[in-house]
Every structure is written in structure tokens, then in C-alpha cells.
């Protein structure tokens, strides 16, 4: 039952990539885990809801819910999982749900993703079927990117003549 012997008698080897998705069209929600592999990753399981910020020098796989900010090397939000808060990571792969700001060098939204986030990125990819509500912003350095809205308000205040009581700036997201 738990043997990794194949029908032809050969022995299977665990996948080298812990986060690898199968090539089949079916969505896979479980990952292989090689106990002998020295890895630096954490898993928020399906039955867990984390409230608060998470920070790791390694990778984080979210299968449950995280209500708070996440900072890590690689973040994977699995199918049915939720991250509600800011995200800073080298790479972000979303298969589930995300709400908040995402700052990452590489962002990939898979077909099951539902994202309500502003995404600041260097490299972005989305599969057909991914749902995105928010703004996409390319930045050479997404981690030091400031929001454009405070700059506009600051410039408006500096340029405002003394006789004007108030100025309202409405910025529409660019498509």
C-alpha cells in the first residue's frame, strides 16, 4: 500500500522538487515529501488558521488560512487556501485565494487562483482561468517600490497655492 515499488518491479524515487505540479490537467493538492532531503520550508496545513505575521528565510506552503503578512523566499498558496495580508517573497505561486498587496520578483497565478491584490512584480504570469481584481505594476525592484498614490498627494500638497482650500486627486488604475 505505501510501497514505492512499481508494477514492473522497479523502485520509484521521490521527486526532487517538493512543489512540483504534475503535468496532468487534474489539480493536485498534495505534495511529495522526501524525508532525506534537507529543506528549509514550512507548511500551514488545511486545518490551521494563522492570525499574525509569518516570516521565514525559506519557503512557505499555505494549505489553510493566513490572516496576516508573509515574508519568505517562496510562497505557494494552494488550492482552497487563503492568504489575507501583505506578501513579500522572491517567488509567489497562487493556486488559491489572496487578498492584499503582493511584492515579488516572480508571480505566477494558476488557473484556480482568485486574487484581490495589487501586485508589484518583475516577472508575471497567469494561466487562463485565473481571476484577478487589483492592479499589476512592473518594477525593477518590487521590494522598494512605493505606492504611487502618496507621491501624487505629496506633490499636490506641495504645489497647492495658499488660496486653495483643498484639492482632490482621483487616480484610476491603468489597464
pLDDT tens digits, one per residue of 102-111: 999 999 999 9
Is residue 33 a part of any domain in this protein? Answer: no
pLDDT of residue 51: 96
Total domain count, the chain: 1
Is residue 117 a part of any domain in this protein? Answer: yes
Place of cell 496532468: 24
Question: 106 lies in which domain range?
Answer: 41-145
Q: Is 95 exposed, middle or buried (CB count within 10 Å of its CB: 0-12, 13-18, 19+)?
A: buried
- The answer, yes or no, to whether residue 34 has pLDDT greater than 50, is no
Is residue 67 a part of any domain in this protein? Answer: yes
Is residue 49 a part of any domain in this protein? Answer: yes
Is residue 167 a part of any domain in this protein? Answer: no
Using one digit for the tens of pLDDT, what is the confidence trace for 144-156? Answer: 866 444 443 444 4
Is residue 55 a part of any domain in this protein? Answer: yes
Is residue 16 a part of any domain in this protein? Answer: no
User: Is the pTM for the entire model greater than 0.85?
Assistant: no
Is residue 108 a part of any domain in this protein? Answer: yes
Amino acid at each position: 500500500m505505501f510501497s514505492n515499488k512499481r508494477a514492473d518491479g522497479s523502485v520509484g524515487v521521490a521527486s526532487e522538487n517538493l512543489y512540483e505540479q504534475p503535468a496532468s490537467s487534474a489539480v493536485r493538492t498534495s505534495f511529495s515529501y522526501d524525508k532525506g532531503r534537507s529543506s528549509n520550508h514550512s507548511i500551514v496545513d488545511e486545518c490551521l488558521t494563522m492570525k499574525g505575521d509569518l516570516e521565514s528565510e525559506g519557503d512557505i506552503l499555505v494549505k489553510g488560512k493566513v490572516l496576516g503578512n508573509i515574508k519568505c523566499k517562496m510562497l505557494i498558496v494552494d488550492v482552497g487556501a487563503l492568504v489575507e495580508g501583505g506578501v513579500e517573497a522572491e517567488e509567489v505561486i497562487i493556486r488559491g485565494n489572496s487578498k492584499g498587496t503582493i511584492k515579488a520578483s516572480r508571480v505566477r497565478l494558476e488557473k484556480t487562483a482568485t486574487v484581490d491584490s495589487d501586485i508589484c512584480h518583475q516577472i508575471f504570469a497567469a494561466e487562463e482561468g485565473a481571476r484577478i481584481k487589483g492592479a499589476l505594476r512592473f518594477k525593477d525592484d518590487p521590494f522598494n517600490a512605493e505606492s504611487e498614490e502618496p507621491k501624487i498627494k505629496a506633490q499636490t500638497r506641495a504645489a497647492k497655492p495658499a488660496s486653495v482650500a483643498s484639492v482632490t486627486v482621483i487616480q484610476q488604475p491603468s489597464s
